[in-house]
Amino acid sequence: MKNSMSRRQFILAAGALAGSAVLAGCGGSSTSSSSTSTSTDSSSSSASASDDSYTLVKDGTLTVVAELGFAPFEYMNDQTGDPEGFDVDVINAVAEKMGLQCEYLPNQKFDTLVPLIKQGGKADVSIAAITITDVREESVDFSEPYLDSNQAIVAIKGSTETEATLNDASKQVVCQGGTTGNDWITENLPNATCVPVDDVTAALTGVQTGLYNAMVVDLPVAKYMLTNSFSDLDIIEEIATGEQYGIAISKDNPNLTKAVNKALEDMKSDGTMDSIETKWFGSTI
């Protein structure tokens, strides 16, 4: 009786925290402190004694790694020094649902994220607008998809470039290295000179200054960056790749993937996901 009362109180407290702090910044101070693996009725209050248990790099904390130059999904707020964005809100809410704090590691290059999760020991999850692909699924597990996406070709306003004219050895088409945009160029513009770089802002600046003829990048990022920082660039073509973003988790930690999926499912049914979509995209997607 005493035990079940205290567990019930814990669940209520965890629920109250999740409700009140759903959009709190990741990496900031969080009030959750539980490290139990789940709050379902059948679970034990001890992670080690539960079949649902998972491992964490740091007890009580969901440690996140990302490439933090991909607005509106993840970027550094220069004022606060904290990461912000759609993905940051999503993973922060996931951590809240799991009764965990959430901490970001320093910025990493995009093409190191999947290898880093595969290798283990540094971060529990990577959320970085990562498209679920067969190749990546050989290295890591993914959560259920949390957002649909496509690609865009970006060029200077007034440009006469098309997919056909870009497919020429004299054309420099930039992308972020190791991305699905990089793959798309290799497959669909085999004659163009594909230039993979680390940083999206540098790539777009290069399109602006004429260093590159075009960039291929995720459509929501193109839309956001062009509206907010690169008004002299245009989306010359939207490419319906039908991609879906997932959260990357080690194959050695299948119960963490299950717990993250449970949190995502709860966020879809209780309206948290809708409110995060509305916050960043003005409407649900």
Nearer to ligand GLN, 96 or 218 (CB): 218
DSSP labels, 1-16: -HHHHHHHHHHHHHHH
Distance CA 176, CA 186 (A): 13
Contacts of 93 (CB under 8 A, 6+ apart): 18, 22, 23, 263, 267, 272, 276
Residue least distant from ligand GLN (Cβ): 179
Distance CA 279, CA 92 (A): 14
Alpha helix stretches (DSSP H) within 36-188: 86-97, 113-119, 134-137, 163-166, 180-188
Distance CA 154, CA 217 (A): 8
Smallest separation (angstroms) from ligand GLN to the CB of 136: 8
Residues 27-86 that bind ligand GLN (CB under 6 A): 67, 70
| Segment contacting ligand GLN by CB under 6 A, of 40-48, 173-181, 231-239, 274-282 | 173-181
Nearer to ligand GLN, 15 or 145 (CB): 145
Smallest separation (angstroms) from ligand GLN to the CB of 109: 10
Could you say whether residue 143 binds ligand GLN (CB under 6 A)? no
What mask, x for binding ligand GLN by CB under 6 A, covers residues 114 to 133?
--------------xxxx--
Smallest separation (angstroms) from ligand GLN to the CB of 179: 3
Smallest separation (angstroms) from ligand GLN to the CB of 7: 39
Smallest separation (angstroms) from ligand GLN to the CB of 159: 23
Nearer to ligand GLN, 17 or 200 (CB): 200
Give the full edge-to-edge strand order of the sheet including 74-76.
Answer: 69-70, 74-76, 83-84
Distance CA 183, CA 173 (A): 12
Distance CA 122, CA 254 (A): 17
Distance CA 139, CA 137 (A): 5
Q: Find the binder of ligand GLN among 34, 172, 179, 213 (CB under 6 A).
A: 179
Query: What distance separates the 2 farthest-apart alpha carbons in the chain?
Result: 76
Nearer to ligand GLN, 165 or 244 (CB): 244
Q: Find the binder of ligand GLN among 110, 142, 212, 230 (CB under 6 A).
A: 110
Q: Can you give the binding site for ligand GLN, defined by CB under 6 A? A: 67, 70, 110, 128-131, 176, 179-180, 218
